[in-house]
Amino acid sequence: MILCDKGLFTLHTKHTTYQMKADRHKVLLHTYYGPRISGGDLSYLIQYTDRSFSPCPNEAEADRTYSLDTLPQEFSTCGVGDYRLPSLELELDDGSHLADLRYADFRLEKGKYALEGLPAFFGGSEWETLTILLRDTAAEVDVELLYGVLEERDLITRAVRICNRSSRTVKLCQAASLCLDFPQGNLDFITFDGAHAKERCFHRSPVRPGVESVGSVRGTSSHHHNPFVILCTPDADEDHGLCFGAVLLYSGNFQAAVEQNQLETPRLTLGIHPYHFSWTLAPGESFTTPEAALICSPDGFTQMSQQFHRAFRDHLIRDPYAGKRRPVLINNWEATEFHFDASKLAAIARAAAPLGMELFVMDDGWFGKRDSDFSGLGDWFVNEDKLPGGLEALAPQLEGMDFGIWIEPEMVNEDSELYRAHPDWAFQAPRRAPARGRMQLVLDFSRQDVRDHIYQALRKVLDRVKVTYVKWDMNRSLTDVWSATLPADRQGEVFHRYVLGLYDMQERLRQDYPGLLLEGCSGGGGRFDAGMLYYAPQIWCSDNTDAIDRLRIQYGTSFCYPISAVGAHVSAVPNAQNGRMVSMETRGVVAMGGTFGYEMDLNQTSEEEREVIRRQVAFFKEHYDLIQRGDYYRLTSPLDNGPYTAWEQVSPDRREALVSLVTGNLRAAEPFRALRVKGLDPALVYRVNGEGAYPGDVLMHAGLPLPMPWGDYQSVQLYFQAI
Ligand code: DGJ
């Protein structure tokens, strides 16, 4: 997979090749990333020209064609001649802000590197790791570029370790996880953006001169932008064109920036956002960036997404939930919000269990004085006014379903026992009153003592009864980020230390409660990222449970993240977020585009609706592997304003497929349409919903006539099974 030959490094995956070369001045150049090629030294593609105002390194002497400003760099520097996006910015104790990296050595190993305290893809001998050592000799700083290669999945992971080898203090002002130059130019930039209740909407535009970036400075990866981006050729669509997906395994401030320079060759950098970031390295200390991962697909978005999905399922989501079935859950939030007691919960459970639901999730409101969002956060003990006898008394009333609870450990209300005892544990800067979000403050999770206190309180709850699931919520953006435990010149570390603290807490939960299913959440999908998935195999996708809005949200999410990660529930109508009426059938079909569960008071449904639910749950369980682990195809886009949105899952052996289809706003006199199915075996013959006999090649190339839709927001599921 990885070939190293006198400073030439070639990484081959199943469909792609990636190449770098240390040149005559020991600058590590990026020479190629694209469809798999046989090999050779591709540095012949680099053109050396004299560009005015592009300085030349001292050792290039009279060679005016050699400039860091014009050459494709593997990990860009700053202040020494490259004016494009930097990957590394150092501040030395002499006040200089320069970084100049030259190739020193490399190491090739079997297996995949790990990153202490940070999420990372994992695996065994199917991986190879290449470590390239770069050195800034003046600063005496070593930079290790780590590359993990998973050939079968076309996955190349990257992380960077920066080590201060000098006897002086060095400050990092910026440290990207990934830098990628695209000498071929002419690319589109795709990002996934939105807001609370409309996360990860697909946006595409041509890369233009200057810098374009998305990111977050909210302390979380955010509802507003996602740490996953695509660069692609203008002709790229689901089945054609070259595309490059880049994802950051990180749940805090991030930046994905693309710069088109004077030569019209874009550069992508991805990593921790430089806003209010700095890290002090004492002599001998090192800093490790979060991991980034790349997949290049020569054949469009579908192949890229499927490769990400497989890699996430098998090499990021950890046991026992890598392969284990997740339960169909019933959650009480939209049914009750804070206003419940044990008998109300028991009544919801009594209605849910006979319909096949397996896990009861008690959401916000069960602890402290938590009757609204004004109070209670931080007080992690059961509110016995609502739940007399505590969890021990409630659990037996759940009709044999497993028991899950909601927590929001990073937060505190000023009206809480915790805040009254430790007001200084919430983020606040000297002489400023902190901003509130949802009437709550953020605990300083960069502090071990704060984390320990919260963790011990949570343990007392979790040890009372068997809790098999925890929903870890986080309901505001960070402000007033200042930590009492760090000196003034190290406050730039707090945002990152907060994320490390979060990962530490979740890792402790994983270790102490093996088998616990953690669901991530941040007001829906405000922290829906690959970093979180390392700890929480599923994440509540959005607080917007309207099936029609969800089509767009789940569509955008699917470009990177697998179905099994996408928390999706059927909720009541009219929908709580937009008042829309959608049938139970369609709500179920859309929730099967994710982990599938219910979030409503089933006692408020009719007998007919309960029969629909019973059938949905049975169908989901019967086809669980196909739905959750099948290869995912986006058949149409909800953004096209067409008559329907359709998607499909195909089993790895291609003997089964499920097409789901939801109509949008209908127009009269729609033309007749056929649906061409994807990914089937052309040599097999399929029954559709138990009927007919259609050759796979016919279904894929000629298709099936679609039923003429009647009424907005109708849905159809077509199950294909090889005979
Ligand atoms: C936001 C979450 O996204 C909701 O599902 C719910 O858990 C509320 N928080 C509870 O406060």
Residues 6+ apart with CB under 8 A from 323: none
Burial class (CB in 10 A: 0-12, 13-18, 19+), 3: middle
Q: What share of the chain is helix, strand, coil (3-state, %, to 5)?
A: 20, 30, 45
Nearest CA to ligand 1 atom 10: 364
Torsions phi, psi for 43 (to 5 deg): -70, -10
Q: Which residues does the annotation mark as catalytic?
A: 529, 609
| Ligand 1 close to Cβ of residue 475 (< 6 A) | yes
**Mutation test residue for ligand 1: of 364, 375, 519, the one with most atoms within 8 Å of CB:** 364
Q: Give 533-552 pLDDT, tens digit per residue.
A: 999 999 999 999 999 999 99
Band the pLDDT of 671: cuts 50, 70, 90: confident
| Ligand 1 close to Cβ of residue 199 (< 6 A) | no
Other residues' Cβ atoms within 10 Å of the Cβ of residue 607: 6
Q: Give 127-186 pLDDT, tens digit per residue.
A: 999 999 999 999 999 999 999 999 999 999 999 999 999 999 999 999 999 999 999 899
Q: What value does the mean pLDDT take over residues 375-387?
A: 98
* HEC assignment per residue over 158-209: EEEEEEECCCCCEEEEEEEEEEEECCCCCCEEEEEEEECCEEEEEEEEECCE
pLDDT of residue 670: 81
Band the pLDDT of 666: cuts 50, 70, 90: confident
pLDDT at 692 exceeding the cut of 90: yes
pLDDT at 367 exceeding the cut of 90: yes
pLDDT at 708 exceeding the cut of 80: no
Q: What value does the mean pLDDT take over residues 229-239?
A: 98
pLDDT of residue 322: 85
pLDDT at 707 exceeding the cut of 80: no
pLDDT of residue 229: 98
693 DSSP assignment: E
d(CA 42, CA 20): 9
132-151 residues labelled b (16+ CB within 10 A) or e (exposed): bbbbbeebbbbbbbbbbbbb
The two structure tokens encoding residue 19: 């190449």
d(CA 641, CA 660): 17
| Ligand 1 close to Cβ of residue 521 (< 6 A) | yes
pLDDT of residue 507: 98
Band the pLDDT of 112: cuts 50, 70, 90: very high
What is the widest separation between alpha-carbon atoms in the chain? 86
d(CA 602, CA 335): 9
pLDDT of residue 642: 84
Q: What value does the mean pLDDT take over residues 257-277?
A: 97
Band the pLDDT of 641: cuts 50, 70, 90: confident
Q: Give 7-64 pLDDT, tens digit per residue.
A: 999 999 999 999 999 999 999 999 999 999 998 999 999 999 999 999 999 999 999 9
Nearest CA to ligand 1 atom 2: 523
- Cα 567 to its chain centre, rounded Å, is 13
Q: Which of 20, 285, 300, 15 is closest to 172 using CA atoms?
A: 285
pLDDT at 576 exceeding the cut of 90: yes
d(CA 249, CA 232): 21
pLDDT of residue 537: 97
DSSP of 122-167, one letter per residue? Answer: --STTEEEEEEEEEETTTTEEEEEEEEEEGGGTEEEEEEEEEE-SS
pLDDT of residue 39: 82
Percent of the chain with pLDDT over 70: 100
pLDDT of residue 621: 98
34 DSSP assignment: E
Q: What value does the mean pLDDT take over residues 368-384?
A: 98
Band the pLDDT of 459: cuts 50, 70, 90: very high
| Ligand 1 close to Cβ of residue 523 (< 6 A) | yes
User: Taking all residues of the chain, what is their mean pLDDT, rounded to a whole number?
Assistant: 97
pLDDT of residue 88: 98
pLDDT of residue 643: 86
What's the CA-to-centroid distance between 527 and ligand 1, angstroms? 13
